[in-house]
Amino acid sequence: MRTKLRYRLLGGLRRVIILLLVVWTVVSLVTLLIELVPGDPAVAVLGEQATPEQFAQFREKHGLDRPPFFFSFPEDANGERHFVWHGADNRYTDYWRALLHGDMGLSFRNDRPVISLILERYPATIELAIFAMLIAVLIAIPLGVIAGTHRGTLVDNFASVIALLGISLPSFVIGPMLVYVFAVKLRWLAPSGRFDWSDIILPAFTLGAALSAILTRMVRSSVIEELGEDYVRTARAKGLSERTVVYKHVLKNGLIPVVTILGLQLGVLLAGAIITEKIFGWPGLGLLLVEDGIGKRDYRVVQGCVLVISMTYIIANLLTDMVYRWLDPRIRVS
């Protein structure tokens, strides 16, 4: 008993260390990648015509006049590079210090705190991801169960074709096609924006299509596998109806891998939402990243968005892992 507890503690500690390493890497990446930007961010934002005073003021306000890292290799007057040690007083530690206070700096474009820009957009992205997941599950579970219990029939083949299409058609093809059918031709739904409750249908379906295809395949093979288990024969022998066998017994066990995939896919959905949000002008984090951040070369916004999307992904994965362990006691021990 005591060794078991020790293993769990060690396992937990290991995961905490990995988590901290991941967080450290992500923050370091977003702070150091900005140094790779070709050209001067101040010129990119203010334009060539700005006065030297404007440049200086901009650099000072955003800390760009400070050394980027603990050391650097600046060019001297003769064009030679020398190693210079700056100590802890640099932009990298600045970003960390601010971050620990919940501050992600000011937007280069409109001087608003990046954290408030992100908080404004965050709910829209989460809403989109959750609806996409909901749609995917609502399609995949019935389709997968029917395909699995009617293996080799027309229904099964139909489900396979649908799943194949969902996997191979990328969202930026499915999305505009849906816009064409439902907004341009039928005029049932708006092509973009987030004003009416119905505006979420097309983006959520677009984002969830690939997931529903993956899930359908998983549910199908899971159902087929579980149907061959002894407990199914026992349940049938007890005289239970096929319906009860499938929905009460098979599905319950068959859904364990599905739950894992769902959690892991939440992160994939968040990344995929970047494309979907662009297609439908959905005002979430992805659109903030692509249009306001990358499009307007507002690197503070890019940093913040990448950081928040990554963190959400990491936390979603962590929670999935925990739920999975709780659901399936066989994994808890090992």
Partner 1 sequence: MNRLTIIGLVIVVVLVIVALFAPWIAPYDVGATNLSMRYLPPSAAHWFGTDSTGRDIFSRVVFGTRISLQVGIVVVTVSAFVGTILGAIAGYYGGWVDRFVSGYVFNVFLAFPGLLLAIAMVAFLGAGLNKLILALCIIGWVGYARLIRGQVLKVREYDFVQAARALGASDSRILLVHILPNAIQPLIVQASLGMAGAVLSEASLSFLGLGVPPPAPSWGVMIEEARDLSTLQAAPHALIFPGIAIALTVLAFNFIGDGLREYLDPRQRAR
**Residue count, binding to partner 1 (CB under 8 A):** 52
Which is closer to partner 1, CB of 14 or CB of 248? 14
Which residue do the tokens 């984090």 mark? 285
Is 189 a binder of partner 1 (CB under 8 A)?
A: no
Q: How far is the CB of 76 from partner 1 (least distance, A)?
A: 26
Is 43 a binder of partner 1 (CB under 8 A)?
A: no
Which residue do the tokens 């066990």 mark? 253
Q: How far is the CB of 2 from partner 1 (least distance, A)?
A: 27
Q: Which of 274, 276, 292, 300 forms a contact with partner 1 (CB under 8 A)?
A: 274
Give me the helix-helix angle, 2-32 and 299-327, nearest 10°: 160
What ranges in the chain are assigned the alpha helix state H? 2-32, 41-46, 52-61, 91-100, 114-149, 154-168, 171-178, 201-227, 230-237, 242-244, 251-280, 285-287, 299-327, 329-333
**Count of residues in the chain:** 334
CB atoms within 10 A of CB 8: 13
Residues 58-117 that bind partner 1 (CB under 8 A): none
CB atoms within 10 A of CB 113: 16
Site string for partner 1, 288-327 (x = CB under 8 A): -xx--xxx---x--x---x--xx--xx--x----------
**Of the candidates 114, 55, 62, which has an alpha carbon nearest to the alpha carbon of residue 91?**
62
Residues 148-167 that bind partner 1 (CB under 8 A): 164-165, 167
d(CA 319, CA 19): 12
**Of the candidates 12, 91, 2, which has an alpha carbon nearest to the alpha carbon of residue 332?**
12
Is 260 a binder of partner 1 (CB under 8 A)?
A: no
Which is closer to partner 1, CB of 57 or CB of 176? 176
Is 224 a binder of partner 1 (CB under 8 A)?
A: yes
- State the residues that interact with partner 1 by CB under 8 A: 18, 21-22, 25-26, 29-30, 33-34, 36-38, 164-165, 167-170, 172-173, 175-177, 179-180, 183-184, 191, 221, 224, 267-268, 270-272, 274-275, 278-279, 289-290, 293-295, 299, 302, 306, 309-310, 313-314, 317
